[in-house]
Amino acid sequence: HSRFNEAFMMFTSTSPQYMIIASLDVAARMMAGHSGKFLIEEAIEEAIVFRKKMVMVAEEIRASLLPGENYWWFTVWQPDCIVVQGTETPLGEADDLILRNHTGCWLLDPGDPWHGFDGIEEGYAMLDPIKVTILTPGIRPGGGMEDRGIPAGIVTKYLRKSGIVVEKTGYYSFLVLFTLGITKGKSGTLLAELFRFKALYDKNSPLEEVFPDLVQRYPARYSGRGLYDLCREMHDHLKDISIADLAREVYAALPESVMTPAEAYRHLVRGEVEAVPVSMIEGKTVAVMVVPYPPGIPVIMPGERCGPATCSIIDLLLSLQGFDTLFPGFENEVHGVDVTGEDGRQVYSVYCVKE
């Protein structure tokens, strides 16, 4: 079944789906005339309102008398200050019209530490104001892991339960879009749900209250635990396996290319492949593309194989496999692996060319 799916995906696409075609037609009609400009500006304004509110809340929490353990908030991946006509202004105090109309406010400046990119060129990239990346506690600005943290997967699971759609979820970040289809006031709804999550976390509310479906499905694993307990346990695990370092190292070197992707695909459709547990794929020629989401970038392509220089690929897949076993209900999404249950644990396998 899984081998058929891999082969079938070579000949299918989301492009001809009628729902997508219909939505494009509707969007084109909505953008016609002056209404399109108005709708775009409204979406940008709503996103800017949310970005500034998040800064304001963080400042209020810093100025409050909350206990030390409750002294935290979510942050937004964005510049702390903007420069307009030579004047530097904190983003939270900047005029909404300036943020909406001046693209320079969103450029990634090579000298700014907030974005974390080394060696970026002047004017090379900019943020899209309507794509808001929210950072959860757990990762320091330099990339190291903090002693306490809140994995983003737990936050987004709570938001989905509350009817808020999250586009992409990383280990300590998630992406929210402010698009043409939103209603005015989405920023307030999202902010309110983040406040509710913080309150539930701070008082270690029982998971039976926060995620009743999860506890009902996995009672032995989650019954009797609180939200703070779950966040701490998951963060400690991610810290122990050095997930931040693994995520960087896995793309630092390319695997060895043994054959073309087309040749590997021919082996796949002819059945000249075998499912190999990821713990044993070193030295094997992979027949499928393996893609963890996020970031949605392949770690290995068909026709490539892992060697000593790229063992971090195996380490990452084994770490994801172990995570899925420890935290059922929060499984990772990895295209190209076949997941099976074995002795109460998850086992990742990858199709490799028979030798």
On the CB side of 84, CA atoms within 13 Å amount to 18
Residue 171 is predicted with a pLDDT of: 92
Query: What does the pLDDT read at residue 201?
Result: 95
Rounded distance, CA 257 to CA 240, Å?
Answer: 32
For the chain, give every residue range classified as CATH 3.90.100.10: 256-353
Task: Classify each residue of 285-307 as buried b or exposed e, where b means 16 or more C-beta atoms within 10 Å of its C-beta.
Answer: bbbbbbbbebeeebbbbbbbbbe
Q: What is the pLDDT of residue 1?
A: 67
C-alpha dist (Å) from residue 174 to 211, 230, 246, 295:
19, 18, 19, 11
Rounded to whole angstroms, the Cα distance separating 180 from 22 reads 15
pLDDT, averaged across the chain: 88
CATH of domain 256-353: 3.90.100.10
User: Rounded to two decimals, what is the model's pTM?
Assistant: 0.87
Q: Which CATH superfamily is domain 32-78+127-240 in?
A: Aspartate Aminotransferase, domain 1 (3.90.1150.10)
The single residue listed with the structure tokens 């779950």 is 230
CA 355 vs CA 231, 275, 289, 349, 352: distances in Å: 44, 13, 19, 17, 9
* Range scoring the smallest mean pLDDT among 65-69, 135-139, 264-268: 65-69
Q: Which of 32-46, 191-205, 311-325 shows the lowest mean pLDDT across its residues?
A: 32-46
The pLDDT of residue 177 is above 80: yes
CATH 3.90.1150.10: which residues of the chain? 32-78+127-240
Q: What is the pLDDT of residues 232-258, one digit of tens each?
A: 999 999 999 988 888 888 888 889 999
Which residue in 347, 278, 338, 263 sits closest to 5, CA to CA?
338
Q: Is 168 helix (H, G, I), strand (E, B) or coil?
A: strand
